[in-house]
Amino acid sequence: MIVHRISIIFLLFFVFGHNVALAHGGVVEEDDLCVIKVNYLRAHFKVYQPATRGLEQFCEDLPTATQSIFVMEYQHDSLSQMEVDFRIIRDVTGKGRFARLEDVEQIADIEGATVFYQAPVVEPDVYLVSHEFVEEGDFVGIVSARQMQSGKLYTAVFPFEVGFTGLGYWPFFIALLVILQIQYLYMSGRLRKWFGRNTGAASLLLVALFFAMSDAKASGLRVSFTAPEGQPRINQMHSWILHIVDESGRAVEGAIVEVDGGMPKHDHGLPTKPRVTEELGGGDYKLEGLRFHMSGYWEILVRVTTDAGTTVVTMPLQL
Amino acid sequence: MIRHSALLFALLCVTLIVAYWQLWPKPIPDWTAEDLAVLRSLSLESLGDLRPDPSNAVADNPLAAEFGSQLFFDTRLSANGGISCATCHQPIRRFTDGLQKGQAIGTTDRNTPSIVGAAYSPWQFWDGRRDSLWSQALAPLEDEREHAFDRGQVTALVASDPQYREFYETLFGRLPEPEPADIRSTNVVFANIGKAIAAFERTIMPSESRFDRYVSSLVDGDVERQKELFSNDEIRGLRLFIGEANCTQCHNGPLFTNHEFHNTGVVSFPGDVPDKGRVAGVREVMLNEFNCKGAYSDDDERSCDELEYARTDATLIGAFKTPSLRNLENTAPFMHKGQFATLAEVLQHYNVAADAMIGHNEAQPLGFSQRKLNQLEAFLVTLAAPIEMTMSQAEQGD
């Protein structure tokens, strides 16, 4: 078993106001202050004390010793397939906010210091842990993720305080941590490498974009639909016939057709996962499993892949 | 002194003007043709006939409904002989129980949902972890916290009760011998019991409310009757409901639900971790042996559009099925764990619409004044109406 060197940083995203042009509230840009980084795996990390603070979010330090819910929302898919365990110990390292994995590893009796332990479990969607703190004080959280095949273990450590009343010095510590991390990356040459790699990636992206644009230009497809059930109604399953023609009006045959869509104003997709189930010939494709659950403006995105490339056609639909 | 009085007078004038502006009832604009179309779509008259359930061959068989109603109220279907479906689904409370979480042999994870009109929904349970009424009916029977019974015991009960045996054999053919019990035939009997209960549940429907009568008076242009039926506050509440408050984004159609799953950022139940809702439910229904595609479904074509095209992604984290709003007064407490005791609390929740603990809150803060919230509440109460049972066994449940 190899314990990888941790690279843990808490990034602070300052919130620039809520007036993002999204109906239905914010998505990623909400007051989600923390990102926990377990090696290269990232997750949003937040804590709630619903009994005393309702829906208020905390990044690490918690105001009162009460039921606390730790939420990790994965930003990296592989975390959802890994066994993740979660331990909270009383801070016996004596290092407080500077406690690191090395310090934790040196604790002889980790079980003795443990106040909460969630055994390894694979959580495919979101990782949730609830612990009722009985006393205030300094604690250290330890999150480990194990890759199922290789057995590799990744660990992140985060010190925090329960019974925390103000901002105190912690913005300073965050800044210090970030500076230290950047300095470390710079000294180890990783930062320079990262820039190097990403310049390459950026130019690749530009080239790809150029090709994509020329593709779209080359294939000005038109997509229309007929709904055999008549005018589409909400809350019903629909089966449509899509008719796809190219610029000159010729039927497009043998294409791979994928369909998605949603309500741009409401920031959500279709309630179902519709599929093209059959090519009927003459540019007609049978689309099944389509449903709309609200009245209003919808957009249906039809992605057509032929030998000539891929084109996405948007069909507006007012219900 | 004169100056002083002039100032006072001016102040009084301003106060009166503001008070007039705030409190004097403003004229209510007429409903437009577009409004009327929306109102008609919400009216019970738009509730079409219940579609057949191809996965249940006896779904609309009256004898099966009669058998189902007896099973529904039968406490012998439980480990302690004291729990029936009606323990939690009490007819008098619109088939709910008035508790935050269901309470049978143990305590369940969620609030008991109503059965009224449930047959119209493609998904059952708050998280849609079953795709038919009949497969839903089976789950609580075997849940340790509910009936704590098992399918073998269900089969044995049907075999030992002469009346049940007769019902069963008339509907489904010969009851298999209890010995030697094989899993497949036990499952067939178990599924059939669910199908009979479903046939009963398909008869439980909402009836006309004051709101529905108001809509028909609008359609008829009967102004006198409109005044009789709806107060100004109720009209204003209804206007907010279909307009500014955006309620009909989810609470649409004659049952005031789109039967879909949404995250509205309700705070977790004290002591519980936040409930993952639909994202876990959809995973479960795909694997359930009694689903539409399973061996016990009567749908020979296994068309199963709902399962086939169900969405499974992370947008469903913390999402729960939109509940019907018909007859809210008998279904408190509200939300999937009964987090809110009153309608006022529910409306306050949407008024603020804070970020969700898990996933993403789809609701936008209303930011309404208390007055508008009261109007919304006044309207919601007009959806109260008795239950309509299309068969006679209901009174057994008192």
For testing the chain B interface, which of A126, A231, A272, A294 should be mutated: the one with the most B CBs within 10 Å? A126
* Angle between helix B33-42 and helix B232-242 axes, rounded to 10 deg: 90
Indicate if A166 and A303 belong to the same structural domain: no
Phi, psi dihedrals of residue A241, rounded to the nearest 5°: -105, 120
Q: Are B268 and B357 in contact (CB under 8 A)?
A: yes
**What Cα–Cα distance (Å) separates residue A98 from each residue in A8, A60, A91, B50, B269?**
12, 14, 11, 64, 34
Place of tokens 């046939």: B199
| β pairing state of A137-146 and B261-262 | unpaired
Which pLDDT value is given to residue A103? 85
Contact B250 A234 (CB under 8 A): no
- Residue B56 and residue B300: Cα distance in Å, rounded? 11
Contact B259 A50 (CB under 8 A): no
Which pLDDT value is given to residue A129? 92
- Residue A99 and residue A9: Cα distance in Å, rounded? 13
Q: Which residue has the higher pLDDT, B287 or A106?
A: B287
Question: What residues of chain A lie within 8 A of the CB of B253, using their CB?
Answer: 234-235
3-state helix, strand, coil in chain A (%, to 5): 20, 40, 40
Contact B312 A268 (CB under 8 A): no
A66 interfacial to chain B (CB closer than 8 Å): no
Contact A130 B272 (CB under 8 A): yes
Question: What residues of chain A lie within 8 A of the CB of B365, using their CB?
Answer: 25
Indicate if A85 and A141 belong to the same structural domain: yes
Q: Are B60 and B52 in contact (CB under 8 A)?
A: yes
Q: Which domain holds residue A261?
A: 222-318
Q: Does residue A5 lie in a domain region?
A: no
B50 interfacial to chain A (CB closer than 8 Å): no
Place of tokens 């704590």: B148
Of A118, A110, A107, which Cα lies nearest the Cα of A143? A118
C-alpha triplet A162, B317, B286: angle, nearest 5° = 135
Q: Does residue A206 lie in a domain region?
A: no
Question: What residues of chain A lie within 8 A of the CB of B348, using their CB?
Answer: none
Q: How many angstroms separate the CA of residue A54 from the nearest CA in chain B? A: 7
B244 interfacial to chain A (CB closer than 8 Å): no
User: What percent of chain A stands above pLDDT 90?
Assistant: 22
Of B202, B205, B203, B207, which Cα lies nearest the Cα of B119? B202
Q: Kindly give, in sequence order, each residue whose CB lies less than 8 Å from that of residue A151, ignoring residues fewer than 6 positions away.
A: A1
Phi, psi dihedrals of residue B55, rounded to the nearest 5°: -80, -10
Which of B272, B276, B355 lies nearest to residue A31, judging by beta carbons?
B355
Query: Fold identical between B26-49+207-388 and B62-205+390-397?
Result: yes
Q: Which residue has the higher pLDDT, A211 or A195?
A: A195
Q: Are A128 and A70 in contact (CB under 8 A)?
A: yes
Of B240, B36, B250, which Cα lies nearest the Cα of A294? B250
Architecture of the domain spanning B62-205+390-397: Orthogonal Bundle (1.10)
Q: How confident is the model at residue A27 (pLDDT cuts 50, 70, 90)?
A: very low
Question: What residues of chain A lie within 8 A of the CB of B252, using their CB?
Answer: 234-235, 293-295
Contact B268 A267 (CB under 8 A): no
Q: What is the signed CA dihedral for A229, A316, A23, A37, rounded to 10 degrees?
A: 100
Indicate if A75 and A160 belong to the same structural domain: yes
Which pLDDT value is given to residue A30? 36
- Residue B297 and residue B289: Cα distance in Å, rounded? 9
CB pairs below 8 Å between A and B: how many?
120
Q: Is this complex's ipTM strictly greater than 0.95?
A: no
Which pLDDT value is given to residue B367? 95
**What Cα–Cα distance (Å) separates residue B291 from each residue in B139, B183, B284?**
12, 17, 10
Q: How confident is the model at residue A312 (pLDDT cuts 50, 70, 90)?
A: confident
Which of B250, B253, B276 lies nearest to residue A125, judging by beta carbons?
B276
Question: What residues of chain A lie within 8 A of the CB of B317, using their CB?
Answer: 73, 125-126
Phi, psi dihedrals of residue B390, rounded to the nearest 5°: -90, 10
Q: How many angstroms separate the CA of residue A266 from the nearest CA in chain B? A: 8
Mean pLDDT by 10 residues, chain B (398 residues): 79 84 74 94 94 95 97 97 97 94 97 96 97 98 97 95 97 85 91 98 95 96 95 96 95 96 94 95 96 94 89 92 92 96 96 92 94 97 85 47
Alpha helices in chain B (DSSP H): 2-23, 33-42, 62-72, 85-88, 133-142, 151-160, 162-172, 183-201, 210-220, 223-229, 232-242, 278-287, 305-308, 343-352, 370-381
A260 interfacial to chain B (CB closer than 8 Å): no
Q: Characterize A166-176 residue by residue with b for buried, 16 or more Cβ atoms within 10 angstroms of its Cβ, and e for exposed.
A: eeeebeeebee
Question: Could you report how far apart the first and last alpha carbons of chain B are, in Å?
Answer: 75
Question: What residues of chain A lie within 8 A of the CB of B272, using their CB?
Answer: 130
Which pLDDT value is given to residue A175? 74
Contact A71 B306 (CB under 8 A): no
Indicate if A229 and A178 belong to the same structural domain: no
Kindly identify which residue of chain A lies nearest to residue B251, measuring between CA atoms.
A294
Q: Which of A163, A188, A213 is the C-terminal boundary of a domain?
A: A188
Indicate if A298 and A250 belong to the same structural domain: yes
Q: Are A13 and A28 in contact (CB under 8 A)?
A: no
Indicate if A184 and A228 belong to the same structural domain: no
Contact A55 B259 (CB under 8 A): no
Q: Which helix (H) or strand (E) holds A205?
A: helix A190-218
B359 interfacial to chain A (CB closer than 8 Å): yes
CATH code (residue A267): 2.60.40.10
Q: Are B321 and B127 in contact (CB under 8 A)?
A: yes
Q: How many angstroms separate the CA of residue B125 from the nearest CA in chain A? A: 17
Kindly identify which residue of chain B lies nearest to residue A270, measuring between CA atoms.
B311
Contact A71 B310 (CB under 8 A): no
Single-letter code of the amino acid located at A240: W
Of B171, B153, B159, B147, which Cα lies nearest the Cα of B72? B147
Question: What residues of chain A lie within 8 A of the CB of B314, using their CB?
Answer: 125
Q: Which residue has the higher pLDDT, B344 or A218?
A: B344
Q: Kindly give, in sequence order, each residue whose CB lies less than 8 Å from that of residue B198, ignoring residues fewer than 6 positions away.
A: B53, B56, B59, B68, B119, B132, B133, B134, B136, B137
Tokens for A273, please give them: 């996962």
DSSP state of B122: S
A266 interfacial to chain B (CB closer than 8 Å): yes
Exposure of B31 in the CB half-sphere (CA atoms within 13 A): 23
Which pLDDT value is given to residue A44? 83
Kindly identify which residue of chain A lies nearest to residue B308, measuring between CA atoms.
A289
Indicate if A165 and A274 belong to the same structural domain: no
Q: Are A143 and A155 in contact (CB under 8 A)?
A: yes
Q: Does residue A126 lie in a domain region?
A: yes
Exposure of A270 in the CB half-sphere (CA atoms within 13 A): 22
- Residue B348 and residue B346: Cα distance in Å, rounded? 5
Q: For chain B, how many residues are written?
A: 398
Q: Does residue A150 lie in a domain region?
A: yes
Which pLDDT value is given to residue A4? 32
Q: How many angstroms separate the CA of residue B389 from the nearest CA in chain A? A: 25
**What Cα–Cα distance (Å) separates residue B174 from each residue in A42, A183, A319, B68, B114?**
59, 79, 50, 18, 34
Q: How many angstroms separate the CA of residue A55 from the nearest CA in chain B? A: 6
What residues does each domain of chain B span? 26-49+207-388, 62-205+390-397
**What Cα–Cα distance (Å) separates residue A200 from each residue in B113, B114, B221?**
56, 59, 71
A277 interfacial to chain B (CB closer than 8 Å): no
Q: Which residue has the higher pLDDT, A180 or A53?
A: A53
How many domains would you assign to chain A? Answer: 2
Of A275, A283, A303, which Cα lies nearest the Cα of A242? A283
Q: Does residue A11 lie in a domain region?
A: no
Architecture of the domain spanning B26-49+207-388: Orthogonal Bundle (1.10)
Question: Could you report how far apart the first and last alpha carbons of chain A are, in Å?
Answer: 57
CATH code (residue A43): 2.60.40.2550
Q: Give the number of other CB atoms < 10 A from CB of residue A191.
A: 15
Of B105, B109, B96, which Cα lies nearest the Cα of B146? B105
Q: Does residue A22 lie in a domain region?
A: no
Indicate if A264 and A179 belong to the same structural domain: no
Contact A55 B355 (CB under 8 A): yes
Which pLDDT value is given to residue A199? 52
- Residue B159 and residue B152: Cα distance in Å, rounded? 11
- Residue A93 and residue B333: Cα distance in Å, rounded? 47
Q: How confident is the model at residue A194 (pLDDT cuts 50, 70, 90)?
A: low
Q: In what order do the strands lie in the sheet with A284-290?
A: A222-226, A238-245, A284-290, A275-281
Indicate if A160 and A285 belong to the same structural domain: no
- Residue B71 and residue A180: Cα distance in Å, rounded? 69
Which of B267, B283, B305 lies nearest to residue A289, judging by beta carbons?
B305
Indicate if A169 and A81 belong to the same structural domain: yes
- Residue A154 and residue A143: Cα distance in Å, rounded? 8
Phi, psi dihedrals of residue B214, rounded to the nearest 5°: -65, -45
Place of tokens 């935050």: B100
